[in-house]
Chain A
Amino acid sequence: MSAPVFPAAVPRRAVELGSETVLGGMFRDEAELTADVHVAPGTKFGFFTDTTLCIGCKACEVACKEWNVLPADNIGLTGNSYDNTGALSATTWRHVAFVEQVGGATTMQAFQSNWLMMSDVCKHCARAGCLEACPTGALFRTEYGTVVVQQDICNGCGYCVPACPFGVVELGIEDGHAHKCTLCYDRLKGGLEPACAKSCPTNSIQFAPLDELHERARDRVADLHSRGVESAYLYGVEGQDGSPGSTGGIGDLHAFFLLTDRPEVYNLPSRPTLPSRRVFPGLVRGLATMAGVALAAAVLFRAD
C-alpha cells in the first residue's frame, strides 16, 4: 500500500488539462472542469439533490438569483427557522427548506439529521404537467431533456400554474408571464454547469446525465442504509411504486431528491399525480354519476 488515499478534490479533466490551459482559457467546456460532465444535446441532464449532504448554506439560491438576474422577494423575517424566502416562486427558483426536529439530541444518525435542510427546485418532470397544459407552446422540452418557458411566447394564461403538481411555476408580478427554473438552459448551451450545482460546496446538488445520477443515487442510498440511515430513499425515481418517493404517472423527475423523512415534511407532495391523468377518470366518474342518476330517475319514474 502506498500513501493514504486522498479523495479527489478536483475533477479528472481539470488535472489532465493542468494549470496552463486552465488559466489560458483553452479548455472546451467549463462543466468538464467543475462537474466532470460533457454537456451535449440529446442527453437527458438533471439534478440529484442529496439532502443528507446539505448544510443549508443557500449558496444555490444566491447563485441562481445572480446568474438569472432575479430580484429579491419579500425582505422580512419569516420566523420559520432560517428560511426567509418561503417557497419556490417566479423569482426564487432554488429554495432551501429548513425543518427543525432537534429534540434533546446528542447522538444522531450519520450525515444530516435533526435539522433538515433541502434545496428544492423545478423537477423537470418526464411527463410535465405544465408542458401539457401550455396552449401556446411557450413551454417546451429542450435538447437536454429539461422543461423551459420561452418568455417571448408565453401569453400569461396561467394554465401551467395549477397543472404543476409541485407548485413550482408562478406568474411574475411585473410581466404576468410564467417563470421557473430553466436548469440553466443558457449555461448548458455554453457548456457550463448550472449555477446552483456549481456553487454547492458539499456536492448536495449534483449535475450530470440523468442515468448516471440514478446510479450514483442508488449507490448512495445503499451506502446510507449500510450505515444505519435506513430512512434514506429517493424521491422522484420511477420504478419504485409503493415507496413514498414514487411519482405515479409523472415518471422520472429530472431533478430528484434523496430524503430521510416523509415527503410532506419537506413540503413535497406524497405520490404526486398529473392533472391530465385525472381528466379521464373524472370524466368517467361524472358520466357514471349521470348515468346512475338517470337510471335511478328512470327506475323511480317507471315505478310511478
Chain B
Amino acid sequence: MPSLGATFGRGAATTTQWDLANADCVVIMGSNMAENHPIAFRFVLQAKEHNHATIIHADPRFTRTTALADIYAPIRAGSDIAFLGGLINYILENDRWFKDYVLNYTNISTIIEGEFKDASQLDGYFSGWEADKLDYATDSWQYEGLDVPATIAEHYSHESSGPEQREQKKAKMAQGPVPRDPTLQNPNCVYQILRRQYAQYTPEVVERVTGCPRETFLKVAQTICDNSGPDKTTAWCYAVGWTHHTTGVQMIRAAAIIQTLLGNIGRPGGGIMALRGHSSIQGSTDVPTLYNMLPGYLTQPSARKPHGSLQEYLKFEAPDTGWWHNFPKYVVSMLRAWYGDTVDPAGDWNYGFIPKIIGDHSQLPMMLAIRDGTIRGLLLIGQNPVVGGHNTHMIRKALPNLEWMVIREIFENETASYWYRSPEVQARELRPEDIKTEIFLMPASMPGEKEGTFTNTHRLVQWHDKVVEGPGDCRSDSWFFFHLGRRLKELYADSKDPKDQPIQALTWDYPTSGPTQEPSAEAILREINGYTWPAREQIADFKDLKDDGTTACGVWIYTGVYPKNDHNQARSRKADPPDGPGTHLGWAFAWPSNRRIMYNRASADPSGKPWSERKKYMYWDPQGGPEKKGAWVGPDQPDFSTEKSPDYEPDFSKGPQMGMDALDGKSPFIMSADGKAWLFAPSGLKDGPLPTHYEPVESPVQNPMYKRQDSPVAKKWERPDNPYHAVGDPNYPYVITTYRLTEHHSGGIPTRMVPSTAELQPEAFAELSHELAFELGVQNLDWVVVSTARGEVEAKALVTERMRPLTIDGKRVHQVGMPWHFGWEGYATGDVVNTLSSIVGDPNTTIHEGKAFTCNVRKGRLDRGDTGVGRVERGEGN
C-alpha cells in the first residue's frame, strides 16, 4: 500500500477494526464493507449504537453497506478523486482543518522547490514530465534544497540530477531542519500548493464529474468536518474499490490527506482502515509474495539501480533520518536468517544471492510474458487466474505456451481444467490434444488441517492450531515448500556450479514431525520473529536487531510475535474486559511492536497532553518511566521513542543528527525522514505528489477537469490481444464495474463448490438499472450479452433500482455491475466476467482497473456453437 506508506510511513491500516467502534463518523468509500468485511462491519454498527456515529457510503452501487448507512453519495465508478479533491477543497477554503495538529504533525508548512508546478498549472501534468520516457523526474517535487527519501520500500524514484548533486542534497536532511514557513504565506509551501491544486474542485465540479448531487456532497463534507477535531474523530474505510484503478494509489492518498487535515490519524476512533480481502493478504505483503519487496518492506535489489554490492545497496537505500536509518540492521539480520553460517561478515553477506529485478514482474505482465513464451513454468498457490486474472480469454490462450504448471488447490479450479472445459475448447479455439503443458494439480490443506498464522486486516498476527488431518494427500503449503526446498538442496548438494550456491547456502533446518514430515510452523514463526546468532535466543523487540551478524531475523516488523523461547504471542487470547481499555494488547500480536493504533503520538497535543478527555489515548507523563524522567503512557504501545520528551529538539549545531535523533518531540510519523505526515509526497509515488482526477483508461467522457485524459503514467500494454476502448467509443457506451458478493470468495473455489454457499448466489448476473433495461428492452432475468473488445460473456439480467444512471458533464451515463466470482466448475456457475477486463495497471502497484472500464450490453445469448465439447451442465434453475 504505497499510498499509506508514502503519507504516514507504513503501508498498512493505521488503526484496528474494533477501534472503529470509537468513531463519531465512519466514511466507507471504495469498499462494500458490509458485504465483503461483514465481521469488521460489526464495529461500525457498534459506533452507530454507542456513539450515534453517522455512517457515510459513497459508491457507484447501492449495496448492503448502503442499506445500513445514513448518507449515500452515488458516484460514477472511477471518479473518486474528484469527490475527494472536493472534500480537500472544502476543508481548506472553509478553514475546517485542525490547525494545531496539522501545523505540528504534517508537512503543510514545508517549502517545496521553486520550479514545482501542480496539475492545475500544467493541465493535468506535474512539473518534471519527460514525455520521451513517459515518466516524471522528481527533482522539482523535493523539499527546497533537499533530497527526501520516501518511507516505502522503493525509497527513490527517477530523478534527472546527477548522483553527486543528489548525495549532497540527501546528506543535508541530517544537517539542519527542513525549510518551513509557519506563517504559510510562502507561495511554494505545501499549504499554498494544496489550495492551488484543489481550487477547481468545487461542489459544482464534483457534481459534474462524479454525478453526485452537490447537496449530498456538501452534506458529506459538513458531516466529516463536524465530526473531527479535539473532541471527535472520523474513521475511513476503503478496500479494493479504490485499489482496482489506474489511479488507485492516489485515491487512497486523497483520503489520507483528508484524514490528516482533519487531525484523525493516530487517534482513537480515527484513522484509515485498509480493509484487506483474503484472510492473510496483509501477511502476504508483510512477508511478501510481491516481486519488488523483501520481507518487512525492504527494497528488492534491482539491476537498474546502484545495487551492485551490499554496501552500494545500503548506501543508496538507507535514509539518514527517521526510523528507516536502521535499514541495514534489518537487511543484515535477514541475510543471516536466510544463509546462516555460510555468510561472510567481512564480505557481502551473500547479498549477491538475492535475485535482482529487471522490470515489472507482477501478475498482469506475467500473463503477457506467458503469452509471449518468455515464462515457461508456473506455480499457482491458491490462485485461479483463468477466473481472477484479467483479459482472461487472452490468459486461456496464453497458458498452453507453458511447459509445466503446478496448481495447489482444494478443488479442481478453472485454471486446472481450462484445457478441456473452457469456452475456448467449446468453440474449438483450443484443442486439448494440441496442449502440451504438463499440469500438476496438488491437493492443498484447508486452514483447520494445518497450524500457522493469519495476519488480518489490522496487522494482527493470530495463530491457529491444527484441528483435523487433511484427507488423502492434502498437504500444507509449508510442507510443499519445505520439501521442495529440501529436495532441491539434495539435488544440488554436490554441484560445483556457482549458480547453485544460493540453494546450497540456504538455511533449511526446520524440524519435522509425523508420518508426512510436516515442518514445524512454530519454528518458522520463531525465525520470522528473529533470534540471536548463533545461540538462537528469541528477541523481543526489533530495537535489538544488529547489523554485525549477531542477530538473525526473517521479517523485522514481526519481531515480538515470538518474543521468548517458550512464548508464542500470536497464540495468546487475553481480551480486555468490557470496561476497557479495549486495546486488547494480550490478544495475539499486531506489528509493529504490538501497536494497535499506529502514529499514536498524535493522539496527544504538541505538548504531550490529550487533545480532549473524550479522545484521551497516549500522552506524556512527566513523572513516567522507570526512573520517573518522563514517558509516553496510555492503553497502547507508544509509537514513538518511549522516553523522548515533547520538548526535544535536535541540536544540529553539534553536527549531523542521524536516525531518530533528527526528529523532534513533535514528530509522530517516525518512519518519515522528517517525522511528519506527508500532505505533499516529495518522493515514493510515480504519478505525482498530489492526487489529481484522471479518467479511467476506458471512459465514456472526456476528462472534464484537465486536458490530460487519463493518468500519464498508467501502465498500459496495448496490443492486438489486449486492446483498449477509445474515449467515448460509441460501441462501448456503458461504464462497467466488477465486484464481489458476500456469498462467494474471490475466484469462487471455496464457495462455488460447496452447496450451502453455492445456492445463495447460484449464477452469474449483470445488474442493470431500470432505465438502462428499459432502453435495451430487457426484463428481469432475461439473458444479456456483455461485450468489450477483449471478449463477450452472457449472464442473466438483474434489473434493480440499486443501480442508477448518473449525469456526467451533461451526459447521461449508465453503469453496469457484474460480480466476477463465476466460472464453469462447481455448483454455482457462470461465464468468467474478467474475460471483459483488460490488462492495465496503476503506475505504482500494477493493480488492474477492474472497477471502471467500458462495455456494451445487448439482449440475448451467445452463440457458442453446438459442438458439445466440454459442455458443462449449467444450473438452469428456472
List residues of A whose CB falls within 8 A of some B CB. Answer: 1-10, 12, 14-15, 18-19, 22-23, 53, 55-59, 61-62, 65-66, 70-79, 81-82, 84-85, 100, 102-117, 201-203, 227
Contacts and interface: CB of A to CB of B under 8 A. Distances in A.
A61 B760 contact: yes
B865 interface: no
Most-contacted residue by chain B among A14, A73, A84, A109 (CB, 10 A): A84
Contacts of B765: 77
B64 A57 contact: yes
Given A19-B572, A62-B760, A1 B800 contact: no
Interface stretch (B575-583, B694-702, B712-720): B575-583
Contact of A77 (B66, B796, B800): B796
**Chain A contact residues: helix, strand, loop or mixed:** loop
Contact of A79 (B74, B573, B796, B804): B796
A6 B580 contact: yes
Nearest to A227: B52
Contacts of A59: 38
Nearest to A62: B756
Interface string B37-68: 01101110110111010000000001011111
B727 interface: no
Contacts of B780: 79
B581 A3 contact: yes
A57 B42 CA distance: 12
Contacts of B635: 3
Interface string B66-83: 111111111000000000
Contact of B35 (A19, A55, A70, A74): A55
B876 interface: yes
Given A19-B572, A75-B759, 13 more contacts: A3-B580, A6-B22, A7-B46, A56-B64, A56-B67, A76-B878, A85-B760, A105-B62, A108-B70, A108-B72, A115-B66, A115-B67, A202-B41
B574 A18 contact: yes
B345 interface: no
Contacts of A1: 613-614, 616
Contacts of A10: 575-576, 578, 584
B182 interface: no
Contacts of B614: 1, 4
Nearest to A109: B70
A4 B582 CA distance: 9
A16 to B, nearest CB: 8
Contacts of A70: 756
A23 B762 CA distance: 37
Contacts of A108: 69-72
Given A1-B614, A3-B616, A61-B760, A15 B38 contact: no
Nearest to A63: B756
Nearest to A76: B877
A71 B756 CA distance: 7
B229 interface: no
22 contacts: A1-B616, A3-B581, A3-B635, A7-B50, A8-B578, A9-B575, A10-B575, A15-B576, A19-B586, A55-B67, A55-B68, A55-B742, A56-B64, A58-B742, A77-B796, A77-B878, A81-B800, A102-B800, A111-B68, A117-B67, A202-B38, A203-B42
A77 B580 contact: no
Nearest to A52: B68
A14 B577 CA distance: 9
Contacts of B67: 55-56, 112-117
A139 to B, nearest CB: 26
Contacts of B802: 100, 102, 115
Given A7-B50, A115-B66, A19 B573 contact: yes
B691 to A, nearest CB: 24
Contact of A84 (B38, B74, B576, B761): B761
Contacts of A8: 577-578
A56 B743 CA distance: 10
Interface of B: 18-19, 21-22, 34-35, 38-39, 41-43, 45-46, 48-50, 52, 62, 64-74, 213, 216, 219, 268-269, 465, 571-584, 586, 613-617, 634-635, 741-743, 755-763, 765, 780-781, 796, 798, 800-802, 804, 827-828, 875-878
B70 A107 contact: yes
B238 to A, nearest CB: 18
A54 B399 CA distance: 43
Contact of B72 (A14, A22, A71, A106): A106
Contact of B575 (A15, A61, A72, A227): A15
B760 A22 contact: no
B801 A23 contact: no
A62 B38 contact: no
Contacts of A6: 18-19, 21-22, 576, 580-583
A117 B64 contact: yes
Contacts of B52: 227
A77 B877 contact: yes
Nearest to B40: A201
Contacts of A201: 38-39, 41-42
Contacts of A113: 67
A79 B761 contact: no
B73 A15 contact: no
- Top 7 A-B residue pairs of the complex, sorted by shortest distance between their CB atoms: A76-B877, A6-B582, A8-B578, A72-B755, A19-B573, A115-B67, A72-B759
Contacts of A62: 756-757, 760
A248 B615 CA distance: 50
A81 B781 CA distance: 11
A66 to B, nearest CB: 6
Contacts of B763: 76-77
A114 B634 CA distance: 42
Contacts of B576: 6, 10, 15
A72 B827 contact: yes
A116 B68 CA distance: 10
A87 to B, nearest CB: 13
B22 A106 contact: no
